[in-house]
């Protein structure tokens, strides 16, 4: 976690805002020579501030991977410069575009740097778990034995609280063929771990740049859209990989101690609210 935010809700609801796939590049550059990812993240910062006021306070911002586009120190410094303006604690896990070691050294210097970045954050009515599904030099995801062992030890510590379980690669297929080929390659191991846990779990991920919701191992599971570009919604087999500049989004996850309720929120300019 990094950031100077010290806000703690005075009510009994924990609110975790998820953003994903920000794909920040060097200052002045654009992703794919077209997408102004830095501008979109700055727009997201403005939206986060508005949402923080509208919901009564956000406890942390959880970034579910692909913070930057090529994993360089320069990109992470640029990411930090933009997102630090929200003044909220940040929870970070790497994606396939990240370099897990460089991410930790640049953004989390207080942590013990390791190949896999797994952590747990405890709140009175919610347990948040971050798992590192990145594979060095590859686009697909994999949960190592050490990561799964960490999960198995951590799940019982929820003690009845809901769990928000985040990783970059979704453990389920989406029907978007080119993304499913680089999804999580060992979901059955995760399924075995989760089937042994009786409490409520909400699985959250990124990677696919679209809001997609389903169930996995009997638990709710969803993908957060990117703050920037979207993977095109093409469900035809062997359809070529493509993206579009649809309005970006983020997801607010709220726990009342019994369950997690999630709300998608746009990252775009729009009018309102207007009274009915």
pLDDT in the model for residue 83: 96
| CB 162, CB 125: distance < 8 Å | yes
Residue pLDDT, tens place only, 63-77: 999 999 999 999 999
CA distance 209 to 227: 8
Residues of the chain where predicted confidence (pLDDT) is lower than 50: 2-10
CA distance 273 to 182: 39
H or E element, residue 42 = helix 37-55
| CB 112, CB 125: distance < 8 Å | no
Structure tokens of 53? 């006021």
Query: Is the peptide bond preceding residue 273 cis, with omega within 30 degrees of 0?
Result: yes
CA distance 222 to 252: 12
Please give the mean pLDDT across all residues of the chain: 93
**135-163: burial string, b at 16+ Cβ within 10 Å, e else:** beeeebbebbeebbebbeebbeebeebbb
Residue 238 Rama label (left phi>0; alpha psi -120 to 50; beta): left
Residue pLDDT, tens place only, 120-145: 999 999 999 999 999 999 999 999 99
pLDDT in the model for residue 4: 45
Reference 129, options 117, 140, 145; nearest CA is: 117
CA–chain centroid gap for 259, Å, is 19
Structure tokens of 167? 């990783």
First to last CA, the chain: 40
CA distance 151 to 144: 11
Residue pLDDT, tens place only, 155-180: 999 999 999 999 999 999 999 999 99
Reference 90, options 1, 206, 205; nearest CA is: 1
CB atoms within 10 A of CB 70: 14
């Amino acid at each position: 976690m990094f950031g100077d935010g010290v806000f703690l809700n005075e009510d009994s609801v924990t609110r975790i805002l998820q953003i994903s796939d920000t794909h920040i590049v060097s200052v002045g550059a654009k992703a794919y020579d077209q997408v102004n990812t830095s501008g979109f993240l700055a727009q997201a910062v403005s939206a986060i501030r508005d949402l923080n006021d509208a919901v009564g306070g956000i406890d942390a911002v959880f970034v579910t991977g692909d913070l930057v586009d090529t994993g360089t120190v320069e990109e992470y410094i640029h990411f930090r410069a933009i997102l630090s303006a929200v003044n909220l604690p940040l929870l970070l896990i790497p994606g396939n575009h990240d370099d897990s070691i460089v991410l930790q050294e640049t953004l989390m210097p207080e942590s013990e740097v390791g190949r896999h970045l797994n952590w747990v954050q405890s709140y009175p009515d919610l347990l948040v778990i971050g798992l590192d599904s990145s594979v060095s030099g590859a686009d697909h995801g994999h949960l190592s034995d050490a990561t799964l062992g960490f999960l198995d030890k951590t799940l019982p510590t929820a003690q009845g609280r809901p769990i928000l379980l985040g990783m970059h690669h979704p453990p389920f297929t989406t029907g978007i063929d080119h993304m499913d080929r680089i999804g999580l390659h060992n979901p059955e191991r995760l399924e075995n771990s989760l089937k042994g846990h009786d409490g409520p779990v909400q699985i959250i991920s990124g990677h696919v740049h679209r809001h997609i919701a389903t169930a996995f191992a009997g638990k709710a599971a969803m993908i957060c859209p990117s703050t920037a570009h979207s993977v095109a919604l093409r469900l035809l087999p062997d359809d070529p990989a493509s993206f579009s500049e649809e309005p970006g989004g983020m997801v607010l996850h709220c726990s009342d101690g019994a369950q997690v309720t999630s709300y998608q929120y746009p990252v775009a300019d729009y009018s309102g609210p207007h009274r009915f």
